[in-house]
Chain A
Amino acid sequence: MATTLSQVLWKYAARPAAVAIFFVLVALLWTFPLQHVMAYPFVFLFFPAVIGSAWFGGLIAGLMAIALSYVLIAFFFIPPLYSVSVGRESRTYVAAYLASGAICVIVSALRKRSEEEIRSARDELESRVEERTAELQQSNQEILERERQLRAITEAVPQQIWTADAEGHIEYANPELLAYLGRSSAPLLGEDFSSIFHPQDAAEFRESWEAARATIGNFELRARIRNAANAYRWFLIRGIPQRGGDGSVIRWYGVHIDIENQQRAQQLLQVAQEDLSRTSRTTSMAEMAASIAHELNQPLAALITDASACRRWLQSAPANLEKATAAAERIVRDTTRASDVVSRVRSLFSKTNYVRVPTDLNGLIDELARLLKDEAARRKVSIDLQLESDLPMLYIDPVQIQQVLFNLARNGMDALRGAPEPRLLKIASRREGDAEIIVSVTDSGPGFSDAIHDRLFEPFFTTKADSTGMGLAICRSILEAHEGRISAFSSTEGATFQFVLTLNSTDQGDSYA
């Protein structure tokens, strides 16, 4: 409190007083010699003293200087001399001096204040700029540090990572990727990236890349990438765009994850599953056949024994008609039982759920092609769809017709096993006249002989070691239930299986079950 008080005293009393006394005394000392040279020299020198006081000491110093200079002027230079009173004739002059002095003081003080404000504002600005600069430097350093960390992470992860510009030119590739490709960074950057893919996968990569660019979305695919030793491994490739403020892509980020082992295991698994399902199909078929045989043999055994007994009673001398009649009655009973078994087996196999729904046949074929895509790739078979557009809806059981399509396509692919490449499987649909739609499945395999042709649709007939021989027989019975038909022919180009579905009969269908 004491210090503040002394500071206030210094600021508003002592300092202005000192400044005012200094300037006014300087002016006074110069005025004495000059009063002999010119009249009223005080105006000439006291004005600067007042202005100087006001400028350097502030408003209070200025006012003090006016007061002090007035006293000194009135005392030393205005008659009556050596008295502070002012003579009548000089009063106007002194008043004018005081007034103009006061104005000078005010103007000067105001000016001074505003200048000081400007200066302090400038100082503040400067210090702020300095602060900001320091902050910027620090954050720059932090960013650099973070970038170093990120870089270290990208170099440490065992996955391949890259960034590319909006056009897809590679800007950065992590050491893992470079090491895999067997390149130093320089020639890879900016290169056409799709050249590192397996020729069969490059198209798919370009496709998904173009799609991702068009929609500015993520892309993901599985593709083989060539390594330094010119061998290929499967990778899961993921790309993510970074958008700018206007929504356009600034940069692409990509990561490749090695899924070679996974892919291989999956393929093995799939093969194993196929084997298993084929085996279990065959086994369950055999088991079913055995149990049907048992069911049927039991009454048949009784039947034959009864018949033999009956004959023996009739042949004995004398004939035992009573016993023979009893045996004949048992024959009737056992025959009924055998025929019950047969009808039970029939009802087991007949489809009890009758389904006819409007179905887009081409949709079924498209779905089939999708389902078979992987298997076809594995067997190096290319599937060629030639579908007539705008086919009318068919009233069919889509599951059953899909089963027919599936069987025919699988047969086609089986026929292409060992055939020279290119291995083609053509699936075509077309309309024939007003009432019929024909679907054909053609393979570029070796075809079949006339002898085989005659037996193709027989149950249990097969040319394959691992087949039940039921596929085409089932196809035929499905088509017969749809009032359609199936046929096959062979030419030098391969085998064709085709089936015909009728438009008229398939939409009114509850007359048969």
Chain B
Amino acid sequence: MTSASELTMLQAVNEALHGEMARDERVVVLGEDVARNGGVFRATEGLFEKFGEQRVVDTPLAEAGIIGSTVGLAMAGLVPVAEVQFLGFSYQAMHQIAGQVARLRYRSRGRFEPAITIRAPFGGGVRTPELHSDSLEGQLANIAGLKLVAPATAADAKGLLATSVRDPDPVIFLEPLRGYRGIRGEVPDGEHLVPLGEAREARTGDEVVIIAWSHQVELACRASDALAAEGLSVAVLDLRSLVPLDLAGIAAAVDRCGRAVVVEEAVQTGGFAGEVVATIVEECFWSLEAPIVRVSGYDAPYPVGQLEDTYVPDEARIAAAVRRVLEVA
């Protein structure tokens, strides 16, 4: 029996980084304020003191330079772990992410191994200024060559990040802002690895399945628990990674329940929830007993503070969607 500690997601991220830097001296951490300050959220706390200024580097404020330099670091045989301070800022590096990081292996026909991890906090609910809360999963998933990982629990934050750093392909690792300190749980001590592409059943149930990732899993679980009090059996499937996607896991859950709700925080049009719906239709259309319902943000930019609770899906909207898919006889 391995020991475990109660950690926040943020502490779990930090533990994974400490573990991977200790394990593999090729791992370098770079980004804005990641060294002396330990990151603006303290995700990289203690790394600079432990591993030194060569391997933990405060860069100039230059997203394209940070992400672009990870390509060169990977060409030199290193394993860069870059932080983009907020996912919305990755727009300023999107040409490097999409055109360069994602294609390094492909363009060089396997000569260069893009063992690059890009960590970024995202998602709303903490009253940030504009462009600090945007969810870009749909856009990122549409870039061939990237893996996209979005943990929902503290244990997964550690286990999936460690796996991502070791993964030979570029991984965009999405960390929910609200979950940094808001989500906590038992996290195995020492080495802990969670494979990419294996969804997790966060709640069991057989009437409806709510499919979600990252912080929305937490809300889906609360909705499931509330509905359980009304006698409804609502499963929650935490995708954990969007690319690769657990096709079999999605199909098994929908086959069992016959009804599905897909939740995401992003703009609805072109969002990743649509990809999940398409997957369900391809994999298990004949198991469906009702149309699938999406719960998402709106086709409007992520708003500023006073409006964000209206924008972001909450338990009530998720529960309402569950009731809606149950209305169909």
A and B found bound together: no
